[in-house]
Chains A and B, each alone.
Chain A
Amino acid sequence: MAHEHKLEIFRGRWKFKSNTQKIWGVLAFLTFITLVEVVLGIYKPDAFMHTWMDPFEGGFFATIGNIILSPIVYMKPLNLIFIVLTIIKAYYIAWDFMHLRDETGSFRKMIVWTGVFLICYLMFILLQEGGYVFNVYNGKDALIKHDF
């Protein structure tokens, strides 16, 4: 049975002798990331608790800029770090545990980009809409009262 495994992660910076060793290496990396997340989650450093950038004020281009930069403008840096770390973890689970690294490139792209595209679309629509409903509830001229 010819099962070829690519035995290196981090673009070849960490090489392994066997597939089993690579599995343990990936486990060590995932555990490390989870530990970082838990420590950050418990201590919540002050530096990460407030956005580093204020939204742009002004017309159309300011809005476009805010949408493009929304992870920095509207999200606490801590949450952004959590989401990035999660995607890194997901990458290594899919690439090394689910052997996507060893699949044909087009097969891999077919799986990943379909999901990424649809999920980004769904997220954008629903989060945008959620923000809008928040304004309907809490705007200056809100017709709805929910704290009584």
Chain B
Amino acid sequence: MDSTVASTGTEEKTWGGGNEPLKASYGKMMMWFFIVSDALTFSGFLAAYGFSRFKFINEWPIADEVFTHVPFLHGQELPMIYVAIMTFILIMSSVTMVLAVDAGHHMNKAKVTIYMFLTIIGGAIFVGSQAWEWATFIQGDYGAVQTKGGNILQFGEYVTVDGVEKFKRVSIEDLAVVQASDRVDHERKNGLWFVDEGTLPPYTVNEIYEGLVANENVLVRNQFIDENGHKTVLSRAESLKQVKERGKLVVKGANLQVNEYGTTLFADFFFFITGFHGFHVLSGVIINIIIFFNVVLGTYERRGSYEMVEKVGLYWHFVDLVWVFVFTFFYLV
């Protein structure tokens, strides 16, 4: 082959260059380039998360207190368990994917079909779990009061369980003393037609304050972390003062504007990062389904190579790889 003349013809099977630089085919190399650039996008998100966390380092929500739910196990606080299961499901679907790639190398159509199918199922379970995680997060747990400065005041009381004194959270439903109110949701049809109002909070700050006055052992916990790594619990007098003077809005659950678990940025980053990752998983599942049908129809059997399975496999493993980091920085660290 004449190495001084670049061949631009298309007579070769792989790419116009006529050879395979670094012994990687065109498609595989481009998939790797895409993965590197996508990795930079994700690291941009995670670094921004780190920035905001460092900015609020002494008041960032503690993940173990936020993600405590497991499906079908109501009322139990089991931090980490469900997300660990999700991680395992995703790693498992990565394994079935790599087994499909391996079966492809042996031109074993039946095995590729089965393993691709299992991969799709694993991905679907993961996306479903993430949807559940979102729903639980949005739904909220105990509720809280937001201050004028945007900080969060949560409620709880000290209880002794097995001889150990613990701060047990009290939900705003149990606390609030419901009062008659004329305040109704503003709608376009009964008020100004050009102004919208979001949903009203479930309770007013005054109802929560009355409840706090009535329940003498309930204390307020603010979002600042003390030297032992716990959130600060205020004295009774200070609790009443804080809600009375600073309370502005009753918050239940989380969205892009308010977040009952603490700093609003935490919820924003949760939605952005896990959402962006979930979107990758979803598109991965869709691409996997397309490849699955191509396998079933025998496209790659006729082409004589299952390299397409390998390329979509790279993408799928990348999604798993990103999750490993999201898991660490959102749930562990």
Contact = CB atoms under 8 A, between A and B. Distances in A.
Interface of A: 1, 3, 19-20, 23-24, 27, 30-31, 34, 37-38, 41-42, 49, 79, 82-83, 85-86, 89-90, 93-94, 96-99, 103-104, 106-107, 110-111, 114-115, 118-119, 122-123, 125-127, 129-131, 133-134, 137-138, 145-148
A146 B150 contact: yes
B326 to A, nearest CB: 10
B200 interface: no
B317 interface: yes
B328 A83 contact: yes
Contact of A137 (B55, B229, B313): B55
Contacts of B105: 1, 3, 19
10 contacts: A1-B107, A94-B321, A97-B94, A97-B97, A107-B24, A114-B36, A115-B36, A123-B43, A126-B51, A134-B55
Given A23-B99, A86-B324, A119-B39, A107 B22 contact: yes
A138 B102 contact: no
Interface of B: 22-24, 29, 32, 35-36, 39-40, 43-44, 47-48, 50-58, 64, 79-81, 84, 87-88, 91-92, 94-95, 97-99, 101-102, 105, 107, 147-151, 224, 229, 246, 305, 310, 313-314, 317-318, 320-321, 324-325, 327-328, 331-333
A63 to B, nearest CB: 17
Nearest to B29: A107
Contacts of A146: 149-151
Given A31-B88, A82-B328, A111 B99 contact: no
A2 B188 CA distance: 69
Nearest to A145: B149
A79 to B, nearest CB: 5
B95 A115 contact: no
Nearest to B87: A34
B123 to A, nearest CB: 15
B238 to A, nearest CB: 13
Contact of B40 (A20, A99, A118): A118
Contacts of A96: 98
A89 B324 contact: yes
B315 to A, nearest CB: 10
B280 to A, nearest CB: 15
A23 B95 contact: yes
Nearest to B324: A89
A37 B39 CA distance: 23
A38 B320 contact: no
Given A119-B43, A134-B55, A104 B23 contact: yes
A67 to B, nearest CB: 14
B39 to A, nearest CB: 5
